[in-house]
Amino acid sequence: MLALTQLAPVILSLDGDEEALHRSVQALSSVRASIFAMRGSDPMLQAACDLVASSFTTASVQDEPAMATVMRILDLSWKSRKEEVHRSAAKAIGAISQYRDCSAEVKSFVAGFRSARPPQKQSWSLALGQIQYARCKVLLGPTIVCLFKLVPPPTKTPTADVETRRNAYESITNICLQRDVSGPVVSDTDFQRCFKALLAGLGDYTTDPRGDVGAWVRTQCMTGLSELVASLKRLDLDASKQRLPEDLLLRAVQGIFKQSVEKFATVRQPSRSALVEVLQANDYPFAGRPVLTRIAER
Amino acid sequence: MSLARAVGALSLLTFAFSPGFFSDKPGPAFSAVAPAVTDADLRPVLMDGLIASIGSKNRDTVGVVATRQFSD
């Protein structure tokens, strides 16, 4: 499965042989069902999800037995405790959503958060960011609302565990970056709401027996903010300012800069990268920009 | 297809599926089959071998499938 995953892009580019890719997805049905369900099956689930992510084609959508197998593997993957499996499964559902309307899955994730177990919440919060909403735009709004509920402001008691919150911030970023033929799928208003949510995430200082776990959230938010600012590169200054007003950009620079004097290097280092990216990605002429640029590039 | 290339492909597949070869780092798997990937005649054989091996309990399946392809 690992070799087929790596071969898929080569086969597609050299031979354009989608049938061969579909046959490798079909072959998942030949694996005994118990292999994926038994204890210690995480590497198998991860490999199968990676294979689906790399080899899923239109033919796979039309093949009902193959689809049933893929969905069963995904169901098991959502329940896994391994983050690697969650990431692979999220990529797989993202690939499937390019060929098939995944409204049913989105609705199921959004509705299931209240009663789901932590591994499912963690994996679903990642998956919501990988699903392509071009085929189910009507669910974009409810999805964003659902993700916002998972990441309440730091003043309120969080309803989700820290991994789920980190993943939700990643998904908020990914949704904002999605584009279809007509441009970004997220409106300017929603883009700003998402940007504000990421800004709020910079104040997550949750600790637990593992230490400053809020740092995972803050690091994710810094990365997300810099990616969102970088996504404005393709717009001219006026359009950029309409999508991201200057005051929000300034708050992002302030928030990221604050993280550069945090206790842990694991937070300071990403803050430098994020700051450099934010400064390079726009021409907003705010006060102090030359000084910040000199500091960040040192 | 020459016998040398067929034997080469089989040995690559055998190597790729030797016990303990695969780990959570997939890089070496690709390295092992990479020479076969560049050959348009060998690519389908390689794909068939790998696909057949997914559901197999026996690594020899890969060799059997590949051999059948070459003999055809």
pLDDT digits (tens, 9 = 90+) for A223-278: 999 999 999 887 777 888 889 998 999 999 999 999 988 888 888 989 989 998 99
Please tell me the predicted confidence (pLDDT) of residue B13. Answer: 60
| Local confidence band at A114 (pLDDT 50, 70, 90 cut-offs) | confident
Closest chain A residue to the Cα of B45, Cα to Cα: A20
**pLDDT: which is higher, B8 or B45:** B45
Share of chain A above pLDDT 90, in %: 64
Cβ within 8 Å, pair B40-A14: yes
CA distances to A51, A265, B53 from B28, rounded to whole Å, are 17, 33, 17
| Local confidence band at B36 (pLDDT 50, 70, 90 cut-offs) | low
Pick the closest to residue A255 from A240, A238, A267, A266 (CA basis): A267
Identify all chain A residues contacting B24, using CB atoms and an 8 Å cutoff: 43
Please tell me the predicted confidence (pLDDT) of residue B19. Answer: 44
Mean pLDDT of all residues belonging to chain B? 57
Listed range (A60-64, A135-139, B64-68) with the worst mean pLDDT: B64-68
Closest chain B residue to the Cα of A17, Cα to Cα: B44
Cβ within 8 Å, pair A14-B30: no
Closest chain B residue to the Cα of A6, Cα to Cα: B30
Closest CA–CA distance from residue A133 to any residue of chain B (Å): 31
pLDDT digits (tens, 9 = 90+) for A133-187: 988 889 999 999 999 999 987 767 777 899 999 999 999 999 999 998 888 899 9
CA distances to A44, A168, A170, A203, A217 from A163, rounded to whole Å, are 23, 8, 11, 16, 8
A143: tokens are 């999805």
Please tell me the predicted confidence (pLDDT) of residue A290. Answer: 85
Cβ within 8 Å, pair B30-A15: no
Identify all chain A residues contacting B32, using CB atoms and an 8 Å cutoff: 3
Closest chain B residue to the Cα of A84, Cα to Cα: B24
| Local confidence band at A119 (pLDDT 50, 70, 90 cut-offs) | very high
Identify all chain B residues contacting A14, using CB atoms and an 8 Å cutoff: 37, 40, 43
pLDDT digits (tens, 9 = 90+) for A187-223: 999 999 999 999 999 999 988 899 889 999 999 999 9
DSSP per residue, A169-201: HHHHHHHHH-EETTEESS-HHHHHHHHHHHHHH
Q: Which residues in A have their CB inside 8 Å of a CB on B?
A: 1-7, 10-11, 14-15, 20, 23-24, 27-32, 43
Cβ within 8 Å, pair A15-B43: yes
Please tell me the predicted confidence (pLDDT) of residue B28. Answer: 44
Q: Give me the mean pLDDT over the A39-50 stretch.
A: 92
Residue A15 pLDDT exceeds 90 = no
| Local confidence band at B20 (pLDDT 50, 70, 90 cut-offs) | very low
Cβ neighbours for A2, distance < 8 A, ≥ 6 positions apart: A47, A50, B22, B26, B29
What residues are paired with A241 via a beta bridge?
none
Closest chain A residue to the Cα of B32, Cα to Cα: A3
A4: nearest CB among B44, B50, B55: B50
Residue type present at position A33 = A
Residue A23 pLDDT exceeds 90 = yes
